[in-house]
Amino acid sequence: MQKMPVGLVMVQIKQLQSRIIEKLLKETLGEASINSAQINIMYQLWNEDNITISELSKRTQLANTSLTTMLERLEAQGQILRCRNDKNRREIRIQLTEHARSLQENTLEILTAMHSINFNGFTLEEEKQMYDFLNRMKSNLETYSSLQK
């Protein structure tokens, strides 16, 4: 049998991870919480709030069109506010609401649980190597992507 291309393995890992995260989110936060696709955005905002859409796009690796759609949904859910910069009306900054901040602790616990699930059976050295390999792959993809523009 032919070895599955690494890209497909990564897609399957993402699908499995998303399914498990969705289950844990519903169990912990309820139906009206964030979903697995929104965690990437929320995680970046929990690390630094009040950033521009373009900066958030860079940090999440989401295209502006995809990010805008997801931000509209987060805004409708009361998770974020989109605020115009008084000094530059074209610039929109994304700010978390108190409701979104209240989800941080439980969501980070879920991410910690996912870390344990993902690295079950790995030594600390293997875990470090995996991070290094994944970050190198990400860097390769970012370089390739930037050359395609």
Q: Where are the domains of the chain?
A: 11-104, 122-149
Length of the chain: 149
- What pLDDT is recorded for position 29? 87
> Are residues 46 and 96 in contact, defined by beta-carbon separation less than 8 angstroms?
yes
Query: What is the three-class DSSP state of 84?
Result: strand
| Choice among 17-21, 53-57, 83-87, 111-115 with the minimum mean pLDDT | 83-87
Q: From CA 108, how far away is CA 103, in angstroms rounded? A: 9
- What pLDDT is recorded for position 40? 94
- What pLDDT is recorded for position 118? 97
Q: Report pTM.
A: 0.86
Work out the end-to-end distance of the chain between its first and last CA atoms, rounded to an integer number of angstroms.
37
Domain 11-104: which topology? Arc Repressor Mutant, subunit A (1.10.10)
Q: From CA 32, how far away is CA 110, in angstroms rounded? A: 16
- What pLDDT is recorded for position 31? 73
Model pLDDT for residues 6-46, shown as the tens digit of each residue:
999 999 999 999 999 999 999 998 876 788 889 999 999 99
Q: What percent of the chain has pLDDT over 70?
A: 99
Tokens of 85: 């910069």
Tokens of 34: 């964030």
- What pLDDT is recorded for position 61? 93
